[in-house]
Amino acid sequence: MKRKLSEFFTSKYILIAVVVLCVLVMGISFFTDKLSAPFRNAVSSVVMPIQKGMNYIGLWTNDKYSQLQEVKRLLEENDELRSTVDSLTEENNRLKQDTYELERLRQLYELDAQYEEYPKVGARIIGTSSDNWYSTFTINKGSEEGLKVDMNVVASGGLVGIISSVDSHSATVKTIIEDGSFVSGQLIDTGDKCTVEGDIKLMDSGLISVKYFNSSVNVRNGDKIVTSNISDKYLSGILIGYTKDVSLDVNNLTQSGYLIPAVDFEHLQEVLIITELKDSGK
């Protein structure tokens, strides 16, 4: 009996039974909806949640994909904006540098006009001393350009110093702020004489010393000091700086104080060299 049942429930007979059942259901459903309605309801109760879930997953996936695309677009725009900002910043820096250089050259032009009686040549600073101020520096002009030792050097504002040594295409300038330098000066209004001295102890303060005013001279803060006519190397009438805190010395015979240089020694880049020597007679 068991063998007959097993022979009956073979895949062949099961398939035939399923086909007959499907044909029977289709035939009945053709004539009536009573049998198919429960079947459709059963199928719907299973399929609809799955369909809703698939729709939700589809919508969620599409939304996330759209967000990713938006993020990608924003990142690309951000990179483009950053590149544009970098380019504009670089251009702005170049314009600032050009404006700054133009202003420096304009000041040198005005200085050239201020001392138009002296022949001059322009030069650029290519090397400096190790301190914060340019107590000595090297320029890119030398003997081949007609420069000589003891030629006066000026920049925007007034006197810078004097050429101390010359090579073929470079020269060294010793400035008035270098420790131990001496310049014979005078008050521009009265001609009263003084001595301007570089002092290493004053470098950080941005000042230099002024000494040996006669005790009777009235020296006020901000009075202009220029090179005097008795200087052995410096041409006369070149602005050196402005007096500050001049007072009577302990000997009661002379006055001393400080001088604010006319030149900004901390930011020098270009200078003018007066090619006429004091004692040359040219």
Break the chain into its structural domains and give their ranges.
Answer: 120-274
> Helices 36-114 and 11-31, interaxial angle, to 10°?
90
Beta pairing partners, 243: 259
In 3D space, the residue among 140, 131, 205, 200 whose CA is nearest the CA of residue 173 turns out to be 140
Are 222 and 242 within 8 A, CB to CB? yes
Neighbours of 195 (CB within 10 A): 16
Residues 6+ apart with CB under 8 A from 186: 192, 193, 194, 225, 226, 227, 228, 229
Block residue for tokens 């030792």: 149
Which amino acid makes up residue 94? Answer: R
In 3D space, the residue among 167, 173, 130 whose CA is nearest the CA of residue 150 turns out to be 173
pLDDT in tens, 7-50: 555 666 666 776 666 666 566 655 555 555 565 565 556 556 66
- pLDDT band (50, 70, 90) for residue 258: very high
CA 47 – CA 26 distance, rounded (Å): 20
Residues 6+ apart with CB under 8 A from 141: 121, 123, 147, 169, 170, 171, 273
Beta pairing partners, 173: 137, 163
CA 163 – CA 34 distance, rounded (Å): 119
This prediction has a pTM of 0.64
Residues 6+ apart with CB under 8 A from 229: 186, 236
Q: Which uninterrupted H or E stretch holds 160?
A: strand 158-166
Beta pairing partners, 107: none
Neighbours of 188 (CB within 10 A): 14
Instruction: Say if residue 80's pLDDT is above 90.
Output: no
Mean pLDDT score across all residues of the chain: 81
Are 282 and 151 within 8 A, CB to CB? no
Residues 6+ apart with CB under 8 A from 64: none
Query: Sign (positive/negative) of CA torsion 98, 99, 105, 108?
Result: negative
Instruction: Say if residue 149's pLDDT is above 80.
Output: yes
State the pLDDT at residue 179: 87
Block residue for tokens 């004489």: 193
**Which CATH code for domain 120-274?**
2.40.10.340
Residues 6+ apart with CB under 8 A from 281: none
Instruction: Say if residue 135's pLDDT is above 80.
Output: yes
